[in-house]
A and B are shown apart, each in its own frame.
Chain A
Amino acid sequence: MTVTSDMTTLRQWYPVAYPNQIRPESTYDTTLLDQRIRLSRDDHSQITAHRLADDNSEMATIPIVQRFDTLFSTLGDSPRPLPQIAEFSEDDRRIIHCGSFRVRTSPCRIVENFLDMAHFCFVHTDVLGSIDRPEVLSYKTEYHPETDEIWAVDCQFFQPTASKSAAASGQGLMAHYSYRILSPFSVMLYKSAMNFAGRFDAICLFIQPLSETDCLCYMPMAILDNVSTKTDIIDFQQSIFVQDGIILENQRPKLMPLTPRSETPTRADLSSIAYRRWLKSSGVRFGLQSVEGS
């Protein structure tokens, strides 16, 4: 496979590993946008990354930065800066990641699923949604020109078990959400934190596209919870994620279609409409069905 020629997609930072996956004196090979790359740790514990040639020899170095407990790299020049997420530097938060999960579909489909509340009661039944309360109340989307981000705000949804810490209370609640599209293939949400009135958990989804229809998903979180164990929090988040996986790998076509009548959005899909429009105006082609192909 050749690396994409889509400049917008090339000029982004992507997660490529967690720091602990790069062992001293060993290498970690992975793929970014169809380009094989190798990460290694030198004698000074410094991490470096290279593109790999077909014969697995190391070629040009590529940059590596560590943010949100995750390693990011890029294949493009002057990439769009990584987002500022203040919650990750607040003292009383727990920074937890729950591994990386493979999902064989387009990164666009994965972002769109993350933005979507209407699936809660069918896909995360009795956890994030209750089958008898499926209504999505109206919310707003905003464009933030200073950061070039799309936000969905004033979102709310009735949830029987909104989080690991909410599970203990045993009764449902109206969960409040804001969503933030951070780049074409990364997105985060703020969700009202149980027992911390007025404050929000921050849950991110950074996608490493291996190819147009094969991704690794990284989910660093900065959450407010002084009740649950780390293992319980990870279990909760992973379960939700795998439930979404069944859906994501069985959407057709895998590449997201942008032509108007190929899919049917409703009011609940306002954030997806804004996302698709923004992808188009940003010139993204990666992960999208080409117009001829539709």
Chain B
Amino acid sequence: MGLKLYNYGLSGNCYKVRLLLGFLKLDYEIVPVDFYPGLEHKQPDFLDINPLGQLPILEDGRVRLRDSQAILSYIAKKYDPSASWLPDRDATKFSQIMMWLAFAGNNLVAAAADRLVDSSATFSAPEIDKGRQALTILDDQLAERSMMGHSWIVGETPTIADIACFPDAALSNYVGIDHEAFPHLRNWMRDFRRLPNFLTMPGIPEFA
């Protein structure tokens, strides 16, 4: 049966899932979706799978999940026996991770969103401002963490909080937000790209 990911190569949310599957060295099947220009995710066949008309979708046997944050949690819980990507014994750590997952799924979206492919989208100033605000909050968090001697958003090792925040943070540069004002964010992204089994995606510079 195995894992099956409905995927689009230029989607930051699909990329989160590919990252974790890669870190855990899990085998999975990719179902390519012609997101752009085909808009296959808005066709009836795909709406049967996800009525929200969004990627990614993960299937694991009879389990079908949408929302990249939920998918990260599922994979970490089920397939990471060391529980290092989602430490769930420690209430504080666990909930802090949930907090940053929510941040990634809400606030941080403004930093990159779907602008990568939506060519007619205007890069509106208010949206860019919201994106900058979210990156400032992440930079503040990482500044504190680095002062405590830690490189990651929560805890001493990378977790799914880092995975959830990485794509939109990194892609925001490509869609028009300069990273000059976020020194800690830049150091964190570099550490992230240097993790073993890290996979890149188009829109993120390759060399670390």
A and B touch in the complex (CB under 8 A): yes
| Choice from A101, A216, A229 contacting B32 with Cβ under 8 Å | A229
| Choice from A30, A97, A98, A242 contacting B202 with Cβ under 8 Å | A242
> With a CB–CB cut-off of 8 A, which chain A residues contact B207?
122
- A243 engages B202 (CB within 8 Å): yes
B-contacting residues, A227-241, CB 8 Å: 229-232, 234-235, 238-241
- A246 engages B9 (CB within 8 Å): no
**Is A116 part of the contact surface with B, judged by Cβ < 8 Å?**
no
**Is A285 part of the contact surface with B, judged by Cβ < 8 Å?**
no
- A98 engages B37 (CB within 8 Å): yes
- B119 engages A100 (CB within 8 Å): yes
- B174 engages A245 (CB within 8 Å): yes
**Is B205 part of the contact surface with A, judged by Cβ < 8 Å?**
yes
B85 to chain A, nearest CB (A): 26
> With a CB–CB cut-off of 8 A, which chain A residues contact B205?
246
**Is A249 part of the contact surface with B, judged by Cβ < 8 Å?**
yes
* A18, A99, A122, A123: residue with the most chain B Cβ atoms closer than 10 Å: A99
**Is A102 part of the contact surface with B, judged by Cβ < 8 Å?**
yes
> With a CB–CB cut-off of 8 A, which chain B residues contact A239?
9-10, 202
Complex CA gap A102/B116 in Å reads 9
B-contacting residues, A76-115, CB 8 Å: 97-102, 104
| Choice from A100, A104, A240, A243 contacting B176 with Cβ under 8 Å | A104
State whether A101 and B119 are in contact (beta carbons under 8 Å apart), knowing that A230-B34, A232-B32, A234-B34 are contacts in the complex: yes
Residue of B nearest to A97 (CB): B37
A7 to chain B, nearest CB (A): 28
**Is A125 part of the contact surface with B, judged by Cβ < 8 Å?**
yes
Q: What does the 1/0 interface line of B168-208 toward A look like (CB < 8 Å)? A: 00000010100000000000000000000000001111110
Q: How many residues of B contact A (CB 8 A)?
A: 22
A148 to chain B, nearest CB (A): 30
A38 to chain B, nearest CB (A): 14
A273 to chain B, nearest CB (A): 27
- B9 engages A235 (CB within 8 Å): yes
Residue of B nearest to A247 (CB): B205
Complex CA gap A232/B9 in Å reads 10
Residue of B nearest to A243 (CB): B202
B142 to chain A, nearest CB (A): 23
**Is B79 part of the contact surface with A, judged by Cβ < 8 Å?**
no
**Is B33 part of the contact surface with A, judged by Cβ < 8 Å?**
yes
B180 to chain A, nearest CB (A): 12
B-contacting residues, A211-255, CB 8 Å: 216, 229-232, 234-235, 238-243, 245-246, 249
* B40, B116, B120: residue with the most chain A Cβ atoms closer than 10 Å: B120
**Is B38 part of the contact surface with A, judged by Cβ < 8 Å?**
yes
Residue of A nearest to B40 (CB): A231
Residue of B nearest to A217 (CB): B119
> With a CB–CB cut-off of 8 A, which chain B residues contact A125?
206
- B119 engages A231 (CB within 8 Å): no
Q: Which 4 A-B pairs have the closest CB atoms?
A: A99-B37, A242-B202, A231-B34, A239-B202
15 further interface pairs, Cβ-Cβ under 8 Å (given A102-B119, A122-B207, A238-B36): A97-B37, A100-B119, A101-B117, A123-B206, A125-B206, A234-B34, A235-B9, A235-B32, A238-B202, A239-B10, A242-B116, A243-B206, A245-B174, A246-B174, A246-B203
The 14 sampled A-B contact pairs (Cβ below 8 Å) are: A18-B37, A99-B37, A101-B117, A122-B206, A125-B206, A231-B33, A231-B34, A231-B40, A232-B32, A234-B34, A235-B9, A238-B202, A242-B174, A242-B202
